[in-house]
Amino acid sequence: MRLLKALGEWLDFRLKLGEGIRDAATHPIPKSSASWWYVFGSAALTVFGIQVVTGILLAIVYVPTAAQAWSSLQVLNHDPTLGWFLRAMHGWASNFMVALVLIHMLQVFLFGAYKFPRELTWIIGVFLLLMTLGMAFTGQVLRFDQDAYWGIGIGASITGRVPVIGGALVHLLLGGPIIGGDTLSRFFALHVFIIPGLLIGLVSLHLLMVLKLGINEWPMPGRIVRRETYLKEYEQLTHEGVPFVPDAIWKDLVFGASIVAAIAVCAAVLGPFGPGGQPDPTIIQAAPRPDFFFLWLFSLLSLLPPQMETPVLLLMPPVAILILLLVPVLSGEGEKHWKKRPVAVLTVLVAAVALGSFTHLARSTPWSPAMSAWSGAPVPISELKGRSALERRGALVFQAKQCRNCHALGGAGGMRGPALDEVALRLTSDQLIRQVLQGGGNMPAYGKNLSPAETTALVSYLETLKPEGRPPAHDASQP
Amino acid sequence: MSGPALWSRAAAVAAALALASCDLPGRPGPEPEVLRPEQVLDFATLYSQNCAGCHGAAGKGGAAVSLADPVYLAYADDATVRRVTANGVAHTLMPAFAQSAGGMLTDKQIDVLVRGIRGWAGAAAPGGIKPPAYTAAAPGDAARGAAAYQTFCARCHGPDGKGGSGGHSIVDGSFLALISDQGLRTAVVTGVPGRDAPDWRSDAPGRPMTEQEVTDVVAWLASQRTQFPGQPYPSLNTTHGGKQ
């Protein structure tokens, strides 16, 4: 014991770290800040720690070459003891980290913690969010399965739309004109060196600023932040405050530990992610899906009218990032409490509902017009009941021409177009014929791909799609 | 929660992990997560991805032939089912599935499908009577078919086939353009299970159709085909040059 103490003193005399650590640990914080609401940032840091450790262990086995990446993950899944568990931890921790970073940001936003003097802390936080998403995206690519192919493919096609330099950017991203071995090397470098390096640097800075500027106090309605007076008021609060260790830190520790436990349970029960199907461009039946936090992007892509895609894709991310960066600049002072900031609360709600519903849509929409996507779902028996021989053929045309990829019947089918269960209430047979032959909206024209007999059968089937006993749509221009 | 409680919880988790590392639910099975599509050899998967959309879940209640119908299975043999699955039926909505015919399925997968469909057959042939042969032995005669139609079919499909009290039109040009002669024969022999369309035994009470009558009725139906089916569209005045 005495030996240890002597060793410690010897080291500290030379390193000069002890005092700083002691100061940091015991620095006083406002009483109200020792709260369960203030644990998300530290939990995100804890999860980042897990990612570093599990990531290094994974890198020992993972082979970042196009030929072997996929099979090295198979090996990890099956051969080394608990190799699968390692993959599962890394995968689940990634999801948890994205979620925690988002929750942390949300809390900081709603508590007005980004206001003077913590503006830069927020701005760095925005970059930390981007890097976390970057890690999630590059990590998914390293799986190098069909989903990864999809991810890079979409990423590349978005990048390729940048005017003038698009082609060169794609080349830089992929390491060549196509997705191949060089692509994987680039993403490997990004995922294990470049982004983590930046992440560690910025996280340190972020933490340092939290220490130096103090943890945000619990907001009170009516307590206004002003540049001139805030520092004094805050000092007053810390005077009456409590030391960070142990009064606040135990909550961080308990929450962090529960998160780790939750990740471990998810990993143990739900297992690792993929790897999904082999990345082979010759497999055209593939129906890949990106990880959940990018799902909303897919439904946005598939729902936008084609001529809007490029502007939206190119403008939306920079504008969104810019808005986030400008938040503390634009409202660096004023009310902190959410009750007095209706616009802020409303913005959060709208964003949450939009992202939530896009994500939900994407879960029920097929990715690609693969044959098996939806045409595999049988026509509901109730929607064949009482139909004539011709109408039954029409139902077959509907299946064979894969209308189901965009249109649902009986709740099963794509969502790009409207569900057609009651279409005969809305459209007359003229309108149905026109819609099928000429398309319109986001629907392709089928005129050249349907014989007259097929069209007749199809339309006569569509005309039966209405609840029994209700009259069909009526053309107002005809008597 | 206090420190010791936390530690004991962490220890419990660690112990549980160490103990159960062999059979935790999350542990991946021995196969790759996702098979290459040509490696899928599970009948239920193959059937539901490729056939259920038209032939119905479990081979029943679809808009195309009910493959699980015992009458159908007594009438068509494995070679037929394999041939049709592999090559499709030209000019109808039945696609070819064999890779050799431009489809996506390997011969092995088609074997799995054929065996699975056969597996739906119960032990015995229906009612003891052997169904008519799958293919007609000799060409049918439309004139005799018209007479047979009156005997067996008119009570439901009406005197001229354009629809009656028990069924809709079966002589619509577009319908006939989308079904093969063999498809018509199958419809006459098996009826439409799940609907009030009887099979060859019970079209007329107490008297099954003979092989020849089946062949002749099909010849009569085929003779009702029109040259330009579906044209002009009943209500839209566009001139339209589609295929066929």
B20 inside domain: no
Distance CA B61, CA B193 (A): 8
Q: How open is the CA angle A375-A376-A378, to the nearest 5 degrees? A: 95
- The CATH number of the domain where B211 resides is what? 1.10.760.10
Q: Which residues of A touch B13 (CB under 8 A)?
A: 261, 264-265
Burial class of residue A14 in the structure, from the number of CB atoms within 10 Å of its CB (0-12 exposed, 13-18 middle, 19+ buried) = exposed
Q: Which domains does chain A have, with CATH numbers?
A: 28-361 (1.20.810.10), 381-462 (1.10.760.10)
Closest residue on chain A to B97 (Cα): A371
B44 inside domain: yes
pLDDT for B238 equals 39
Q: Which residues of A touch B54 (CB under 8 A)?
A: 378, 396, 399-400
The per-residue DSSP string of A277-320 comes to: S---TT-TT------GGGHHHHHHHHHS-HHHHHHHHHHHHHHH
Residues B197 and B142 both lie in one domain: yes
- Tell whether the model's pLDDT for residue A2 goes beyond 60: yes
Range of the structural domain that residue B195 is part of: 132-222
Residues B176 and B104 both lie in one domain: no
Phi, psi values for residue A279, rounded to 5°: -80, 95
B241 inside domain: no
Residues B147 and B215 both lie in one domain: yes
More confident residue, A342 or B9: A342
More confident residue, B152 or A158: B152
Band of residue A346 on the pLDDT scale cut at 50, 70, 90: very high
What's the average model confidence in pLDDT over A398-424?
84
B243 inside domain: no
List the single residue in A261, A392, A437 with the smallest CB-CB distance to B13. Answer: A261
Q: Is A398 helix (H, G, I), strand (E, B) or coil?
A: helix
Residues B136 and B217 both lie in one domain: yes
Of all residues in chain A, what percent carry a pLDDT higher than 70?
Answer: 92
Question: How many domains are contained in chain B?
Answer: 2
Distance CA A140, CA A293 (A): 11
Block means of pLDDT (10 residues each) for chain B, length 244 residues? 59 58 68 70 90 91 92 92 95 91 89 94 65 90 94 93 92 95 95 87 84 95 90 52 32
Least confident of A25-39, A195-209, A427-441, B132-146: A25-39
The per-residue DSSP string of A86-111 comes to: HHHHHHHHHHHHHHHHHHHHHHHHHT
Band of residue A249 on the pLDDT scale cut at 50, 70, 90: confident
Residues B52 and B112 both lie in one domain: yes
Burial class of residue A219 in the structure, from the number of CB atoms within 10 Å of its CB (0-12 exposed, 13-18 middle, 19+ buried) = buried
Residues B218 and B161 both lie in one domain: yes
Last residue of a domain, one of B91, B118, B145: B118
Does the beta-carbon distance from A389 to B37 stay under 8 Å? no
B123 inside domain: no
Residues B78 and B157 both lie in one domain: no
Last residue of a domain, one of B62, B95, B118: B118
B188 inside domain: yes
Does B127 contact chain A (CB < 8 Å)? no
B212 inside domain: yes
In this structure, which amino acid lies at residue A430? D
pLDDT for B127 equals 60
Q: How open is the CA angle A203-A207-A213, to the nearest 5 degrees? A: 140
Last residue of a domain, one of B61, B96, B118: B118
- Tell whether the model's pLDDT for residue A373 goes beyond 50: no
> Cis omega before residue A117 (within 30°)?
yes
Total count of residues recorded for chain B: 244
Residues B79 and B138 both lie in one domain: no
Residues B168 and B97 both lie in one domain: no
Q: Which residues of A touch B188 (CB under 8 A)?
A: none
Radius of gyration for the alpha carbons in chain A, expressed in angstroms and rounded: 28
B191 inside domain: yes
pTM: 0.69
pLDDT for B78 equals 93
pLDDT for A369 equals 37
Residues B86 and B150 both lie in one domain: no
> Smallest Cα–Cα separation from B66: which of B4, B121, B11, B2?
B121
